[in-house]
Amino acid sequence: MAVREILKMGDARLLRVAQPVVNFDTDELHLLVTDLLDTMHAAHGAGLAAPQIGVDLRVVIFGSGQLNPRYPDAPVVPRTVLCNPVITPLSDEEEQDWEGCLSVPGMRGVVPRWRRIRYQGVDQYGDAIDRTVEGFHARVVQHECDHLDGKLYPMRVRDFTRFGYTEVLFPGLDPKADD
Ligand code: NI
């Protein structure tokens, strides 16, 4: 287990379209998942994608199974390891809400996302995941899966009057909750 360095926006490795996972239940994949979990927990993140630690594979993790102190008003999202995800929006309805990203530390922005989605994929053992979700859960999944296609949330911001430094936008916020 290891806490890995999180790449920051500007690093070309965050812009790649990541490769599909081919082999499941391997030592290599389990080690990657452990590193992602350790790194996400150390950074108090809501999710993390393999490209953020420089690994060019379509693997994301998200959720905690309990309330995240960085998002105290957010509903509980089950801890999930998701490989080779496919997202299908279930309506045209979008929702705007604040996001941050461990690769864009100290900033927040309002990002439009599909309100309701179905996501499919497999876990690290190759077992199928197929869920229909909405709201915060749907937002987290879309944010993490964007990382697999080289997209960071600032690339989706439409209204730059609602994008900036967390300490300025939310002066009362815990400074540790800065990304
Ligand atoms: Ni992110």
Tell me the CA–centroid distance for residue 68 and ligand 1, in Å.
15
Q: Is the confidence at residue 143, as pLDDT, over 90?
A: yes
What single letter denotes the amino acid at residue 115? R
Q: Is the confidence at residue 64, as pLDDT, over 90?
A: no
Is 41 marked as binding a ligand?
no
Looking at residue 68, its pLDDT comes to: 63
For the chain, the structural domain boundaries read: 12-170
Q: Which residues have a catalytic role annotated? A: 144
Is 101 marked as binding a ligand?
yes
Looking at residue 130, its pLDDT comes to: 98
* Fold of domain 12-170: Peptide Deformylase (3.90.45)
Looking at residue 70, its pLDDT comes to: 66
Contacts of 121 (CB under 8 A, 6+ apart): 82, 83, 84, 85, 86, 128, 129
| Distance of alpha carbon 140 from the chain centroid | 5
Is 83 marked as binding a ligand?
no
Tell me the CA–centroid distance for residue 147 and ligand 1, in Å.
7
Q: What is the reported pTM?
A: 0.93
What single letter denotes the amino acid at residue 154? P
Q: Provide the terminal-to-terminal Cα distance of the chain, rounded to the nearest Å.
A: 23
